[in-house]
Chains A and B, each alone.
Chain A
Amino acid sequence: MFSKTIAQLAIGLNKGEFSSCEITQSYLDRISAQDGKYNSYITVTPEQAMAQAKAADAVISAGNASIMTGIPIAHKDIFCTKGTRTSAGSKMLDNFIAPYDATLIEKFNAVNSVSLGKTNMDEFAMGSSNENSYYGAVTNPWGENRVPGGSSGGSAAAVAAQLAPAATGTDTGGSIRQPCALTNLSGIKPTYGRVSRFGMIAFASSLDQAGPIAKTAEDAAILLNVMAGFDHKDSTSADKPVSDYCASLNQPLAGLKIGLPKEFFSEDLNPQVAAQIQAAVKEYQSLGAQIKEISLPNTALSIPAYYIIAPAEASSNLSRFDGVRYGYRCESPVDLEDMYKRSRGEGFGSEVKRRILVGTYALSEGFYDAYYKKAQQIRRLIQQDYIKALKEVDVIMGPTTPQPAFKIGEKTSDPVEMYMEDIYTLSLNLAGLPGMSIPCGMVDGLPVGLQIIGNYFAEERLLNVAHMFQQATDWHKNTAPGL
């Protein structure tokens, strides 16, 4: 049962082969038996899960079920869940019981989906390895000393270890796609504004976007159907009609124009990973796609631009953590300034502090033009590269990451080395475009992710392109050793 996709579980629930209570209990038992190895959950919520499962079973019996009714999933601990701790992986919010639900959580509740609990993550979503969590590192089920990627590393590890059929994540610079690539999963970062950010703890507000992490592109489409949509509570929510993301999954790919940016195949890319990407492109050719080499000349600049814009927005967003209204407060502050400084100094971890300091510096008097404005101008250049390329091709493909999962501790000593991990994913967030990662091969027993990038609001097409690949290949069916 643990290998079943959401689509398969929904059929079983509908036919009465099993109840939501049964599958929910099985997953809860499996989490308590096995998650010690992975540390993929921060908080498991068995009582709420069973109450939701019971309610879902009643909805199913009454004949009112939709496809997600009674399906248990896990949520990244960045989404506020009323009455449950929502920590964002930080000591700062270790004691924070969210007083309201994020819009995304409300939407899953509205279709009677079941929440198993909250997954581990890099603190405030800042990281590419899930080693920056106050609750400890997460282990990749594909190798016990390997990182699962970040920042949605707990969500990815939970699904890859079959401790949840699917999970939610967020992606500010690759935090859905990179963990999916490293754990053999399918995930999509939608167009900026497609999924509401209300109740999602903010990191970099002009880049943050929520999306699903699943076993297949079809499951990702099912989840996105629940998540997507306009929300008046989010001022940057896109007021555009939502497609049925499952409607054209099976559309043939004949005539699809795929662009391969030469900058994504430079010497930084592991040659074995490159070979797997090329093999996937060949598979697409056999499905009728045409290949064209394109150029995204400003790709390398996405790292410096991102590592100004994201920290600058983070330094502003995280100023709300002041020890007054919620979150951690230091012991016996002598005055207000001491309270602010020690609460923040003790409550934030080192990567979060680094980024706040970089952002504060970039926004400080005299440096704004040289850093923040310059980064925003480069952001425009990066967007223009994509707009030009997407006039010539339907989708852009390349690797999600330069290499497969690296070892825990391998990149922690040098933050800049860790930042280079994001070279292929950052530019998408800067441009606000949607992108996916799907499994496309193995290197030394570790999964490789194929990144698929599309035009604004082209999620339906991306999911179709991903699904057709999964109809023709079996890479996505590989499970971690020992499962």
Chain B
Amino acid sequence: MALDRQDVEKIAHLARININQEDINEYLGNLTSILDLVDQMQRVDTQNIEPLSHPLDAIQRLRADNITESNQREQLQQVAPAVEEGLFLVPKVID
């Protein structure tokens, strides 16, 4: 599957990553060669093979719904870029 510049821009948008216009060709080249590499997979017949998502086929463990952690909001928000009165600040979303 051949990609073009618009595909790279679309993927970058989906990933919410800004890519400079002058770098798009380099990413296009890299992604194309990576996708060529992974296309080797298409030669293998995998019909009726169960996909493996966990090496030990474990199932999700459940626990009792008990409170085990104390509230550490102030401490956890110390590493945030912008905080006010316990809230994370972001650019205005609604006018």
Residues of B participating in the A interface, judged by any CB pair closer than 8 Å? 7-8, 11-20, 27, 30-31, 33-42, 44, 46, 49-56, 58, 60-61, 63, 72, 75-76, 78-82, 88, 90-93
Contact present for B75 and A99 (CB under 8 Å): yes
Q: How far is the CA of A380 from the CA of B55 in the complex (A)?
A: 9
CB distance from A231 to the nearest CB of B (A): 11
CB distance from B75 to the nearest CB of A (A): 5
Contact present for B34 and A354 (CB under 8 Å): yes
Q: Known pairs A304-B39, A327-B81, A335-B91. 14 more at Cβ < 8 A?
A: A324-B88, A325-B76, A326-B79, A329-B81, A336-B90, A346-B18, A358-B31, A371-B41, A376-B53, A377-B52, A379-B52, A380-B49, A414-B33, A415-B30
Q: A206-B53, A315-B15, A344-B18 are in contact. Are A381 and B37 (CB under 8 A)?
A: no
Chain B residue at smallest Cβ distance from A344: B17
Contact present for A97 and B46 (CB under 8 Å): no
Q: A378-B44, A379-B52 are in contact. Are A357 and B11 (CB under 8 A)?
A: yes
The count of chain A contact residues (Cβ–Cβ below 8 Å) is 73
Q: A305-B41, A324-B81 are in contact. Are A416 and B88 (CB under 8 A)?
A: no
Q: How far is the CA of A319 from the CA of B60 in the complex (A)?
A: 22
Residues of A participating in the B interface, judged by any CB pair closer than 8 Å? 95-97, 99, 192-193, 206, 232, 235-236, 238-239, 298, 300-301, 303-305, 307-308, 315, 319, 322-329, 333-342, 344-346, 348, 353-354, 356-358, 360-361, 364, 370-371, 373-381, 383, 414-416, 419, 430-433, 456
Most buried by A among B12, B15, B46, B49: B15
Q: A307-B37, A354-B30 are in contact. Are A380 and B11 (CB under 8 A)?
A: no
List of 6 A-B pairs having minimum Cβ-Cβ separation, nearest first: A432-B55, A345-B18, A376-B51, A377-B46, A329-B81, A341-B18
Q: How far is the CA of A56 from the CA of B10 in the complex (A)?
A: 55
Q: Which of A301, A304, A335, A340 contacts B92 (CB 8 A)?
A: A335
Contact present for A304 and B38 (CB under 8 Å): yes
Q: How far is the CA of A324 from the CA of B27 in the complex (A)?
A: 27
Most buried by B among A239, A328, A341, A361: A361
CB distance from B70 to the nearest CB of A (A): 12
Contact present for A206 and B18 (CB under 8 Å): no
Contact present for B82 and A334 (CB under 8 Å): no
Q: Which residues of chain B come closer than 8 Å to A319, judged between CB atoms?
A: 16
Q: Which residues of chain B come closer than 8 Å to A238, judged between CB atoms?
A: 56
Contact present for B17 and A341 (CB under 8 Å): yes
Q: Which residues of chain A come closer than 8 Å to B55, judged between CB atoms?
A: 192, 206, 383, 430-433
Chain B residue at smallest Cβ distance from A348: B17
Q: How far is the CA of A83 from the CA of B75 in the complex (A)?
A: 11
Q: Which residues of chain A come closer than 8 Å to B13, judged between CB atoms?
A: 341
Q: A357-B12, A381-B49 are in contact. Are A304 and B40 (CB under 8 A)?
A: yes
Q: Which residues of chain A come closer than 8 Å to B36, judged between CB atoms?
A: 416
Contact present for B49 and A415 (CB under 8 Å): no
Contact present for B72 and A338 (CB under 8 Å): no
Contact present for B34 and A307 (CB under 8 Å): yes
Q: How far is the CA of A307 from the CA of B50 in the complex (A)?
A: 19
Contact present for A357 and B15 (CB under 8 Å): yes
Q: A235-B61, A304-B41, A345-B19 are in contact. Are A378 and B33 (CB under 8 A)?
A: no
Q: How far is the CA of A327 from the CA of B55 in the complex (A)?
A: 31
Q: A192-B56, A333-B91, A358-B34 are in contact. Are A364 and B18 (CB under 8 A)?
A: no
Contact present for B18 and A326 (CB under 8 Å): no
Contact present for B18 and A342 (CB under 8 Å): yes
Contact present for A353 and B53 (CB under 8 Å): no
Q: Which residues of chain B come closer than 8 Å to A364, judged between CB atoms?
A: 11, 14
Contact present for A339 and B18 (CB under 8 Å): no
Contact present for A357 and B46 (CB under 8 Å): no
Q: Which of B11, B56, B91 contacts A360 (CB 8 A)?
A: B11
Q: How far is the CA of A453 from the CA of B10 in the complex (A)?
A: 42
Contact present for B38 and A357 (CB under 8 Å): no
Contact present for A415 and B34 (CB under 8 Å): yes
Q: A236-B58, A329-B82, A335-B92 are in contact. Are A356 and B37 (CB under 8 A)?
A: no
Q: Which residues of chain A come closer than 8 Å to B42, judged between CB atoms?
A: 370, 374
Q: Which residues of chain B come closer than 8 Å to A301, judged between CB atoms?
A: 40-41, 44
Chain B residue at smallest Cβ distance from A205: B54
Q: Which residues of chain B come closer than 8 Å to A328, judged between CB atoms?
A: 81
Q: Which of A304, A344, A378, A433 contacts B16 (CB 8 A)?
A: A344
Q: How far is the CA of A369 from the CA of B34 in the complex (A)?
A: 18
Contact present for B91 and A378 (CB under 8 Å): no
Q: How far is the CA of A412 from the CA of B80 in the complex (A)?
A: 34
Q: How far is the CA of A368 from the CA of B36 in the complex (A)?
A: 16
Q: Which residues of chain A come closer than 8 Å to B7, judged between CB atoms?
A: 361
CB distance from B86 to the nearest CB of A (A): 13
Q: How far is the CA of A381 from the CA of B14 in the complex (A)?
A: 31
Q: How far is the CA of A25 from the CA of B15 in the complex (A)?
A: 46
